[in-house]
Chain A
Amino acid sequence: MDWDSDPELKKIRQEFVDSLDERIEKLDEALVVLEETRDSEGEIRDAISLIQHIAHKLGGVAGSYGFPALSRISAALDEYVDRARDDETDEGSMADRVQRYGRILGDAISEARNGRDPAALCETEIVAELERLAGVSK
Chain B
Amino acid sequence: MSEADKRILLAEDEAHIAKLVEFKLSRDGFELSVAENGQVAIDRLKDGPWALIILDVMMPVCDGWQVLQAIREDSALGEVPVLMLTAKGQQKDMANAAEMGATHYLKKPFDPGELSETVKRLTSGQEG
On A, residues with C-beta under 8 Å from B are: 1, 8-9, 12, 15-16, 19, 56-57, 59-65, 68, 71, 75, 78-79
Contact = CB atoms under 8 A, between A and B. Distances in A.
Interface string B73-86: 00000000000001
A76 B113 CA distance: 24
A65 B20 contact: yes
B48 interface: no
A75 B87 contact: yes
Contacts of A57: 14, 87
B35 interface: no
Given A16-B20, A59-B108, A79-B88, 17 more contacts: A12-B16, A12-B19, A12-B20, A57-B14, A57-B87, A59-B109, A60-B14, A60-B86, A61-B16, A61-B108, A63-B108, A63-B110, A64-B108, A64-B109, A64-B112, A65-B20, A75-B87
B17 A64 contact: yes
Given A15-B19, A16-B16, A19-B16, A61 B109 contact: yes
Given A60-B14, A61-B14, A78-B87, A71 B109 contact: yes
